Amino acid sequence: MTKTVAFFPEAAFGPALNSVGIAQAVKALGHNVVFLSDPGFVSVYEGYGFEAHPINLSEPMPAEQMAKFWEDFINGHIPNFRKSPYDQIDNYVKDCWQAIVESAKWAEKDLPGVLAKIQPDLICVDNVILFPAIKHFGKPWVRIISCSENEIEDPKIPPHLSGCRQDDYEAQQAFRDKFNEVIKPIHDDFNAFLASTGEEAYPIGQFFEASPYMNLLLYPEPVKFNRSHPLPPEQFQYLEGCVRKEAPYEVPTFARNNDKPLIYISFGSLGAGDTDLLKRLIATIGELPYRALVNVGDYKSTYENVPGNVIIESWFPQPSVIPQVDAVIHHGGNNSFTECLYFGKPAIIMPYVWDGHDNATRVDETGHGFKMPRYDWTNEELAAKLDFMINDRTMQEKLAATSKHMQSQNGPQKAAGILDALLAKNAG
C-alpha cells in the first residue's frame, strides 16, 4: 500500500542531497515522498522531482537576502577557519548553535500545520536539533545522521566537532568541558523552549535524541568508531553512505597535461568563499604533473589566469565526477567524505569547520587519505601527499576494499527497505 514519507533535512546541501538519495529509493518502492524544507531549498527538491513544503527556520526574507545572509556569515568567519576546533568553540560553533536553536523555535510555528496538511505516515529528520512537533505528530519518526557518527555520543569516542583522534582522551575531555561551558546559556534557552512544548529538558551539550523507532547513520563501517557501547542494530543501522544519482559527466579536454592523473578540488558551496586558499591550490597544481577540476562556487568571476591544466566551474555533479578522478582535495563534508570512500578515491581533507574536523582525522587515522591544515602547508608537502595517494599500493588496496564493501550494501536501497519495513510494521 502506498504511504507518504516526509523528509526534513537541515538547510545545507550535505543533508539535503543525502535525503534525496534515500528519497529516490523510497519513491522507487512506490511510496509518495514529500520534503519539508527551508524556503531556500524548496527548488533543490523540486529539481529532483519531489513535492516540497516550505517551513520557515528564521525570519522570512527574500531568497536572495537569505543567501546573502549565509554568505556573509561564512565570509565573516573565514579568519576563524585558521583556528583549531577547540578555539572555534567560542566563535563559529557558538554562533552556529545560536542560529540552530532559533531555527527550532521558528520551525514550531509552521510544522504542526504542514504536518496536518500532508499527513505523512513516516517522518525522516536529518538535523542536529529536535523539532518537537515531529515527536508530537503521533507517527513514527526516523533520525538520519548524515554527518559524523559521533553525533551519537559514547564515552570512548571523540566528541562531535572536536577533530580529536580516537585515542586522545585528554584532548577529548578538554573539548567537552569547553563546549559545555560556552554552550550553556544557549542550551538553557533551548531547554526553556522544550519546556514550553511539553518536552523534557536535555542534559548539557545535548540538543537531540536518538529515535526510538530507527536511526540511520551514513557513516561506513570501515571507518566507524570503536564504541564502548555498540549501537544496537534494531535501533541503529549504518547505511554505508547514500550516493545520489546525478547526470553523467564527461571530463573536458584540458589545454595541457591530458595524459596526467586527474584531481578534483571542492570545499562545498560555503567553503568556496575561501577564494585565497582555492587560488593557492590552483597555482600549486598548475606547476604539478596533474589535471584538476575545481569547484569555485559563486566566485568564478574572481579567478584570472587559470593554468591550462586546471578547469574551474561553479558546480559539478560530484557523484558523477569522483569515479573518474585519481584523488580528491575537499573540506571534509560528509557527502564528499563518503563519496570518496564509496568510489575508492583517496582524499586530502583540509577541514575548516563543523564535522569536517572529525572526518579529516578519521580519514587519516584509518589510512584512507590525509588530514592537512588549510593554510600551514608547503607546495612540496602537497605534492608529496598527492604522489603518495595516487601511487601507494597499500592505500589503494584499502580504498578498493572499502569501496567494494560500500557498493555491495547500496545505502539508499538499504535505507528504503528499512523505512518500508517500518511503515509495514506500523500500518494502520
How many domains does one find in the chain?
A: 2
Question: What pLDDT sits at residue 428?
Answer: 57
Considering the domain architecture, whether residues 383 and 418 belong to the same structural domain is answered as no
Q: How many contiguous H segments (helices) and E segments (strands) does the chain have?
A: 14, 13
List, in sequence order, the alpha helices (H) in 197-274.
268-271
Cα 14–Cα 144–Cα 25 angle in degrees, nearest 5: 80
Sequence-distant contacts of 67-70: CB under 8 A, at least 24 apart? 67/40, 70/270
Edge-to-edge strands, sheet with 327-330: 310-313, 291-295, 262-266, 327-330, 347-349, 369-371
In a domain, 254, yes or no: no
Span 278-291, pLDDT tens digits: 999 999 999 999 99
Cα 366–Cα 162–Cα 220 angle in degrees, nearest 5: 35
What CATH number does residue 283 fall under? 3.40.50.2000
Domain span including residue 150: 4-240+410-425
Considering the domain architecture, whether residues 279 and 316 belong to the same structural domain is answered as yes
End-to-end CA distance of the chain: 11
Considering the domain architecture, whether residues 390 and 349 belong to the same structural domain is answered as yes
Q: Can you give the pTM of this predicted structure?
A: 0.91
Is there a contact between 161 and 73 (Cβ–Cβ < 8 Å)?
no
Span 387-414, pLDDT tens digits: 999 999 999 999 999 999 999 988 889 9
Q: Which residues of 183-196 are buried (b: 16+ CB within 10 A; e: fewer)?
A: beebbeebbebbee
Question: What pLDDT sits at residue 8?
Answer: 97
| Side-chain-facing half-sphere of 383: CA atoms under 13 Å | 11
CA 161/CA 219 separation, integer angstroms: 15
In a domain, 268, yes or no: yes
In a domain, 248, yes or no: no
In a domain, 376, yes or no: yes
In a domain, 253, yes or no: no
Residue 293 pairs in a beta bridge with 264, 311
CA 394/CA 337 separation, integer angstroms: 19
Identify which of 154, 172, 164, 168 has the alpha carbon closest to the alpha carbon of residue 355.
Answer: 164
Low-confidence ranges of the chain (pLDDT < 50): none
How long is the chain? 428
Considering the domain architecture, whether residues 228 and 350 belong to the same structural domain is answered as no
The distance from CA 85 to its chain's CA centroid, rounded to whole angstroms, is 17
Considering the domain architecture, whether residues 368 and 342 belong to the same structural domain is answered as yes
Please give the single-letter amino acid code of residue 188: D
Helix (H, G, I), strand (E, B) or coil at 181: helix
User: What 8-state DSSP symbol labels residue 3?
Assistant: -
Question: What pLDDT sits at residue 65?
Answer: 75
Considering the domain architecture, whether residues 152 and 34 belong to the same structural domain is answered as yes
CA 94/CA 182 separation, integer angstroms: 7
Is there a contact between 141 and 213 (Cβ–Cβ < 8 Å)?
yes
Considering the domain architecture, whether residues 280 and 171 belong to the same structural domain is answered as no
